Copies of this chain bind each other. A is one copy, B any other.
Amino acid sequence: MIKIGGQVLDDEEMLRDVLRRFASLPGKKILVHGGGKHASRMAERLGLKIRLVNGRRVTDAATLQVAQMVYAGLLNTNIVAQLQALQVNALGLTGADGNAIRSVKRPVGEVDFGFVGDVVAVNVAFLQTLLAQNWVPVFCALTHDGHGQILNTNADTIVSELAVALSQRFETELVFTFEKNGVLSDVSDEHSRIPKLTFEQYETLKSNGAFTDGMLPKLENAFRSLRKGVRRVRILHALDLGSLNAEPHPGTILSME
């Protein structure tokens, strides 16, 4: 399970390099991509206002349309076409396709997040059928509620939920990639990479405020996945996808102890 996100999706050349590395990975694989920055730019072009509550985006009907257009329409379709050119038999998916990922609209509490879905079920049998055909599923950050409504779901959450579900039947490794060299103890210093991050270290660093708003949910999802049966979780630079098995290893390997 490979997640690509962040600036990688914004840089056509880097994306092409990353997809080339992804294509060369052996074994069954699934790609999940984000695209929030693209979506924000498109929302701006359409004159939509981004509504943030406590730093989190609220997905109203117009914003959901933009998410669908950008994630499923532009990014997913282009990534699939590029992977096909690399001889990877990719299949672009939202959670609605094959009922792959069902979610429920987040209940309205103090904040109404709008059309945001919390994952309730992953269709492992469906994914197993795709993987058995040597097809490569490529997911964007959309799910459905089973009643006809598409919902916006964080891509880090999607990749984690898929990894946890698949780990019941497969030995599953989860790799978060982005434009940094891994988890950094000092976000402004690319050389402060933490090669191995235990849950205890994570808790300490978190209470010291060492992590950015983008990194925190990634780490939460990562440790949750480890606890729930995913064999190995790593966070690394997208261009290091080609050297996953190198020694010394790139990026950060997370571990419970």
Contact = CB atoms under 8 A, between A and B. Distances in A.
Interface of A: 45-46, 65, 68-74, 76-78, 80-82, 84-85, 89-94, 96-99, 129, 133, 135, 142, 144, 146-150
B82 A72 contact: no
B142 A77 contact: yes
Contacts of A146: 84-85
A86 to B, nearest CB: 8
Given A73-B68, A77-B94, A133-B129, A148 B99 contact: no
Contacts of A98: 89-91, 135
A85 B147 CA distance: 5
A126 to B, nearest CB: 8
Nearest to A46: B45
Contacts of A74: 65, 68-69, 73
Contacts of A82: 148
A116 B24 CA distance: 30
This chain's copy number in the assembly: 2
5 tightest A-B CB contacts, nearest first: A73-B73, A69-B69, A69-B73, A85-B148, A81-B96
B94 A92 contact: yes
Contacts of A68: 73-74, 77-78
Contacts of A150: 77-78, 81
Contacts of A135: 98
A133 B45 CA distance: 41
A96 B135 CA distance: 12
A144 B133 CA distance: 21
12 contacts: A68-B74, A69-B70, A77-B94, A81-B96, A81-B144, A81-B148, A84-B96, A84-B144, A85-B148, A90-B98, A92-B96, A129-B133
A247 B82 CA distance: 49
Of the candidates A71, A72, A77, A147, the one having the most CB atoms from chain B within 10 angstroms of its own CB is A77
Contact of A72 (B73, B84, B129, B148): B73
A135 B130 CA distance: 12
A121 to B, nearest CB: 12
A245 to B, nearest CB: 27
A239 to B, nearest CB: 19
A80 B85 CA distance: 26
B65 A94 contact: no
